[in-house]
Amino acid sequence: MRAWTRRGVVAAATASALIALVACAASPAPSRSPSATSSASPLAPDETSVVASDLDAPWSIAFYDDVALISERDSARILELTDGGEVREVGVVDGVAPRGEGGLLGISVQDDYLYAYSTGADENRIERFELTGAPGSLGLGEAEHVLSGIEAAGNHNGGRIAFGPDGMLYATVGDAGEPSRAQDLDSLSGKILRLTPEGDVPADNPIGGSLVYSYGHRNPQGLAWDDEGTLYASEFGQDTWDELNVIEPGGNYGWPEVEGQADRDGFIDPVQQWSPDDASPSGIAIVGGAVLIANLRGERLREVPLDDLGASREHLVDEHGRLRDVVRAPDGAVWVLTNNTDGRGDPGEDDDQVIRIPVD
């Protein structure tokens, strides 16, 4: 485990261009506009139930075996949902300095460790904590450094972390309010990173000596893999287009040179795009042959079938307010995390909540 250094990050310009062009050629043809899908949905949204309520600006859900853990952005608390439906505090992540969109953000679990992405006073960082105790009385061990030195700001911090099928840790990082960083391979901002569980650079990363897995991102906040190992990511656009991308190793996704589908050489277009008013996509999950996307401003759960990436279906529209995360629970159901208490929503009496949707 070590602090991030810039050693070996900058690839030669020619090599970077070749990587981007190869990735562009390999990416699937984009859809020009979403269309409705006629295939059956795996979800049963008319049978929703509330799993937990009264959460404070929750951001991410992760499972430790059958136990659900939730991060709260501003309180920096890690919460456990007990078998009895109660919410208890597992621990508080020290050194979190919440401001704007920053704070305790994404969490993920591997083996007996909880990994957490958080905003400190002058950086974003990833730490891990050994999970101690038994379900119903879980605790956090001492913080262990994984990665630090990620640029932080009041917005565009990214913050989603997830372990891929290859056992590597992936992290989404926003441009931290400086768009030019997204095209700068000497910066971790505006990127999707790939690192070992200890924070080192995997030997097979697309740019030698670099944690950068893909670049040209504005504020990506969703990561999910299909059964074939293909990585999908959701991304907040600026004023015009939000995106769903298929991520290619070493690929350049265009920001700030382009936003949305641009058909420009050297940049990989999204497979689908939406107006920010209808989307603002955060967490994603792949369930039943479809990408499920939790939308904030759009206040809906969007379903995009993997066999028709240009199509979509919408669920829970304006029913539960802002949606921050979506995950597949161990029992096969889908859990959706609302985000109405983050300062931008209109919280109800029991907000925020975890909503359960059965899967057929």
Per-residue confidence (pLDDT) for residue 33, from 0 to 100 = 55
Per-residue confidence (pLDDT) for residue 2, from 0 to 100 = 34
Per-residue confidence (pLDDT) for residue 42, from 0 to 100 = 86
Q: What domains are defined for the chain?
A: 13-357 (2.120.10.30)
Convert the chain into a string of H (helix), E (strand) and C (coil).
Answer: CCCCCCCCCCCCHHHHHHHHHHHHHHCCCCCCCCEECCCCCCECHHHCEEEECCCCCEEEEEEECCEEEEEECCCCEEEEECCCCCEEEEEECCCCCCECCECEEEEEEECCEEEEEEECCCCEEEEEEEEECCCCCCEEEEEEEEEEEECCCCCCCCCCEEECCCCCEEEEECCCCCHHHHHCCCCCCCEEEEECCCCCCCCCCCCCCCCEEEECCCCEEEEEECCCCCEEEEECCCCCCEEEEEECCCCECCCCCCCCCCCCCCCCCCCEEECHHHCCEEEEEEECCEEEEEECCCCCEEEEECCCCCEEEEECCCCCCCEEEEEECCCCCEEEEECCCCCCCCCCCCCCCEEEECEC
- Predicted structure pTM score: 0.91
Per-residue confidence (pLDDT) for residue 180, from 0 to 100 = 98
> Would you write out the chain's pLDDT as a tens digit for each of its 360 residues?
333 432 333 333 333 433 333 333 334 434 445 677 657 898 988 999 999 999 999 999 999 999 999 999 999 999 999 887 799 999 999 999 999 999 999 999 999 999 999 999 999 999 999 999 999 999 999 999 999 999 999 999 999 999 999 999 999 999 999 999 999 999 999 999 999 999 999 999 999 999 999 999 999 999 999 999 999 999 999 999 999 999 999 999 999 999 999 999 999 999 999 999 999 999 999 999 999 999 999 999 999 999 999 999 999 999 999 999 999 999 999 999 999 999 999 999 999 999 999 998
Per-residue confidence (pLDDT) for residue 38, from 0 to 100 = 57
Per-residue confidence (pLDDT) for residue 257, from 0 to 100 = 98
